[in-house]
């Protein structure tokens, strides 16, 4: 079974324009995310998926320069873009990571890869939200996801939010949820990079986290979060 990872990102963010390539500790946000996942996935099983609009050319050009695989598809139908990217790279299982998730939860990534032997349809650490916002890790069986895409495509909210349809239809597919039991105090903390204030906080957190960032566990990351809040 071929398991791959797709980083979903776009350049034009209304609250933080150009955030995909925004420098944090002198490295673009997208590169932070890619480097974390590249510590697990080989290059031919890891890619960035952005839109085909000219506004996302900076992402495609950056990927070309850095020799990162880049798939381009529909801007608003993110679910379709995700599926088409998975199919183009012949993935049996496709993991979804958001491009603004600076602190990728790699222990969950490893667990999901190991759990492909269970032959389930949907793996997620989002339901019940025991992890911080910005640490979402999800994976689908590509054939299963292809079978439900027609239903997903009927609604704009489902097209935009790749797995929301599965949250709302819990009877579909065999699934496994991952619960954070190692660091309960992390529950609900906001770590995604959505606004200038988020980026400012992340920059401070990185000063407490020696590189590479992905070597740090959840407890250390949350410690840096509180340290940064104290020095705000």
Residue 213 has pLDDT above 90, yes or no: no
Percent of the chain with pLDDT over 70: 100
Structure tokens at 81: 């873009």
Question: Average pLDDT of 204-221?
Answer: 91
Q: Is the pLDDT of residue 72 over 80?
A: yes
Go through the domains of the chain in sequence order and give each one's CATH number: 3-230 (3.90.550.10)
Q: Three-state DSSP class for 209?
A: coil
Strands 138-141 and 93-98: antiparallel
Q: List CB contacts of 119: < 8 A, sequence separation 6 or more.
A: 141, 174
Helix (H) or strand (E) holding 140: strand 138-141
- DSSP per residue, 149-191: HHHHTT-HHHHHSTTHHHHH-TTSS-EEE----S-GGGTT-B-
Average pLDDT, the chain: 95
CA–CA distance, 201 with 180 (Å, rounded to integer): 23
- Beta-bridge mates of residue 190: 133
Instruction: Report pTM.
Output: 0.96
Q: What pLDDT band is residue 214 in, cutting at 50, 70 and 90?
A: confident
pLDDT digits (tens, 9 = 90+) for 146-200: 999 999 999 999 999 999 999 999 999 999 999 999 999 999 899 999 999 999 9
Residue 166 and residue 3: Cα distance in Å, rounded?
A: 20
Determine the Cα–Cα distance for residues 77 and 75; give it in Å rounded to an integer.
6
pLDDT score, position 232: 63
Nearest to 135, CA basis, from 161, 164, 104: 104
- Give yes or no for a cis peptide into 94 (omega within 30° of 0): no
The phi and psi torsions of 84 (rounded to 5 degrees) equal: -65, -35
Confidence of residue 139 (pLDDT cuts 50, 70, 90): very high
């Amino acid at each position: 079974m071929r398991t791959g990872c797709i980083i979903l990102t776009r350049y034009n963010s209304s609250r933080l324009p150009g955030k995909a390539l925004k420098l944090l500790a002198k490295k673009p946000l997208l590169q932070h995310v890619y480097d974390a996942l590249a510590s697990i996935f080989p290059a031919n099983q890891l890619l960035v998926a952005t839109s085909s609009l000219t506004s996302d050319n900076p992402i495609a050009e950056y990927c070309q320069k850095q020799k990162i695989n880049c798939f381009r598809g529909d801007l608003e139908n993110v679910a379709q873009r995700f599926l088409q990217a998975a199919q183009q790279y012949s993935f049996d299982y496709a993991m979804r990571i958001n491009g603004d998730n600076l602190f990728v939860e790699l222990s969950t990534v490893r667990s999901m890869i190991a759990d492909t032997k269970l032959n389930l349809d949907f793996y997620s650490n989002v339901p019940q939200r025991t992890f911080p916002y910005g640490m979402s890790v999800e994976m689908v069986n590509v054939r299963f996801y292809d079978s439900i895409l027609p239903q997903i495509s009927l609604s704009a909210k489902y097209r935009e939010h790749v797995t929301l349809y599965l949250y709302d239809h819990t009877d579909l597919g065999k699934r496994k949820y991952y619960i954070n039991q190692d660091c309960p105090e992390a529950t609900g903390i906001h770590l995604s990079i959505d606004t200038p204030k988020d980026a400012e906080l992340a920059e401070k957190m990185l000063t407490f986290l020696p590189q590479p960032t992905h070597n740090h566990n959840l407890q250390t990351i949350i410690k840096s979060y509180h340290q940064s809040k104290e020095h705000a």
